[in-house]
């Protein structure tokens, strides 16, 4: 796992980068993005998140599980890439459709 964020619905408004406070959103080494999981929210497909590596658009992801969830499971993971994350490049998860009630977990997989 490269990083994971767990944030309350109230702070995830449209246009907010859900990874803005994650220490590992940048690194001094080359990394590879291989999967994204988005879970939580009030209903399945309620929340939408656009993932970027700097200005490279990876894809839009929607929450695959609803309610207050504590962990992501392998079934939640959507395979992507692999996409190279150059040294110093930031990973962003921009909220496009905000969750209404429950927190959202966004997990970024890779190496």
Q: Where are the domains of the chain?
A: 3-110
In this structure, the number of other CB atoms found within 10 A of the CB of residue 39 comes to 25
Check if the beta carbon of residue 57 is closer than 8 Å to that of residue 37: no
CATH topology of domain 3-110: Jelly Rolls (2.60.120)
pLDDT of residue 75: 86
> What kind and span of H or E run contains 40?
strand 31-40
Indicate if the pLDDT at residue 9 is higher than 90.
no
Q: Given this model, what pLDDT does residue 34 score?
A: 97
Q: What are the tens digits of pLDDT across the range 53-95?
A: 999 999 999 999 887 776 778 888 999 989 999 999 999 999 9
Given a cut of 90, whether residue 22 has pLDDT beyond it is yes
24 — phi, psi (to 5°)? -90, 15
Residue 110: count other Cβ atoms within 10 Å of its Cβ: 19
């Amino acid at each position: 796992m490269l990083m994971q964020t767990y944030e309350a619905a109230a702070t995830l408004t449209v246009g907010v980068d859900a990874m803005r406070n994650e220490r590992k959103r940048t690194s001094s080494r080359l990394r590879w993005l291989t999967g994204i999981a988005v879970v939580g929210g009030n209903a399945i497909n309620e929340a939408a998140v656009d993932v970027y590596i700097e200005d490279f658009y990876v894809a839009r992801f929607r929450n695959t599980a609803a309610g207050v969830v504590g962990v992501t499971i392998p079934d939640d993971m959507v395979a992507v890439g692999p996409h190279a994350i150059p040294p110093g490049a930031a990973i962003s998860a921009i909220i496009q459709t905000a969750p209404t009630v429950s927190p959202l977990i966004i997990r970024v997989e890779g190496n």
